[in-house]
Amino acid sequence: MIVWKKAKIISLLLVLIISFCFPLGGTSRAAATAAGEDSGFIIHADKVVGTLDLGGIIIGAPGVIIGELPIAFLQAKIYGLTLRKLVRTDYGTMVLSIQSNDIANAKLMNMKVTKLHIGGLCFDGIPVVEQCLRDVTLVATKLTTNHIQTPNMSVETSFDPKEVSEAQSIAQSLLKQDLEKEAEHLILAIHEHESGKASNEIVAFNEVKKDMAKFQEQADQMDRLLNDAEQRRKQIENEADRLEKEIKQGNERIGNLDVLKETVQHLSKQYNDFTIQLKSFTLTLQKIDELLQQAKESLEAKQKTVQNVSETLKKLKLGEKSEIGQEVAETKKKLHSIEEKVRQADEQINELKNEIHIWSDRINQMNKSIEALKQYIDQQHEQEEKSDNGSE
């Protein structure tokens, strides 16, 4: 038969337990253990308003948080405060519950927290210099305070399986929480509240992060266009070599006027086709160059945003292993890869522009050679006409 009992603690015991948990009159340790348990008190508050300090630790720095997070309130108003402690006894597991039915006030309250969950921030009527946390649940193994007022506090013990199960359920749900991530999310939420979204570097970084897939595709597209341009460059180069060779062969056919005329007609057509190809290639290169300039501007802006958020994370004491720290590092890596593509594209475009200048000189020379052949043909026709007129 399972036996359980629930008893109200008499006034003297109430004072002893409160003093045990929240020592008054100077900073002294509040033992958060009982009956050999070292899991700490499960503390819940509907709302906590005050000035928060995370003890100067760097969230996400390797080896900094090993199971415990120091949290301090220089001063705090605590609404709906409830403390629970699971205690093993000879009669089974007991729940020790301490509850304040009024607003509790504390000064220089320090805690060692092993588990943490915060529902979010509250803003209405809260001074900018203070933070307001709602739906706060944590496990504290140590708690000290210089001063605390806990009006209308009641203390209960219970062996009721339902209440024991409820406390165990809360403890189990807290086990799923990542202490560092919860602390990080809290820091970022407070920063956003204090700085505002318009001037928040983290909001700007999130926009960069969202745009990275599109930016990467633009860089890849530019890369593909340049690869296509390189293939066309080779084709144009081959065409220029072939045309120059045919012009040279045309000069060798000067003795046979009929053959030369056909050759010049062919060369003129080939020359016109070549100039059209070159104009098309030049326009394509201009478009690629425009994409490159846009990529450069976008890259510079994104790198500046990432640099700004990196500096902000240092100020917020969020290290490289924090969730956002890892996201920043990954974004830096992607931007570095794109920067390398942009650098190579810039070099390649400059080389292709130089090729166009060289081709322009070659085209001018080809045109002069073809025009010279045309003039030679015209001169031969004039001489033939003069000869025919003279013979008449």
Tens-place pLDDT, residues 262-296:
888 888 998 999 899 999 999 999 999 999 999 99
Please give the pLDDT value at position 263: 86
In the predicted model, is pLDDT for residue 33 greater than 50? Answer: no
Domain count, the chain: 2
Q: Which residue in this structure is represented by tokens 């025009």?
A: 371
- How many helices and strands, by DSSP H and E, does the chain display? 6, 10
**Domain boundaries, position 283:** 201-391
Is 165 found in the same domain as 80? yes
Is 248 found in the same domain as 157? no
Closest by CA position to 375, among listed 284, 225, 271, 254: 254
Task: Choose one of 177, 193, 216: the last residue of a domain.
Answer: 177
Distance between CA 98 and CA 52 in Å, rounded?
Answer: 23
- The DSSP code sequence of 138-157 is EEEEEEEESEEE-TTEEEEE
Distance between CA 173 and CA 264 in Å, rounded?
Answer: 88
Confidence tier at 125 by pLDDT (50, 70, 90): low
Is 208 found in the same domain as 85? no
Is 208 found in the same domain as 168? no
Cα end-to-end distance, the chain, whole Å? 145
Q: CB neighbours of 140 closer than 8 A, spacing ≥ 6?
A: 32, 40, 41, 43, 111, 112, 113, 114
Distance between CA 310 and CA 328 in Å, rounded?
Answer: 7
Please give the pLDDT value at position 224: 93
Confidence tier at 318 by pLDDT (50, 70, 90): confident
In the predicted model, is pLDDT for residue 329 greater than 90? Answer: yes
Tell me whether residue 323 is in a domain. yes
Is 228 found in the same domain as 87? no
Is 76 found in the same domain as 36? yes
Tell me whether residue 110 is in a domain. yes
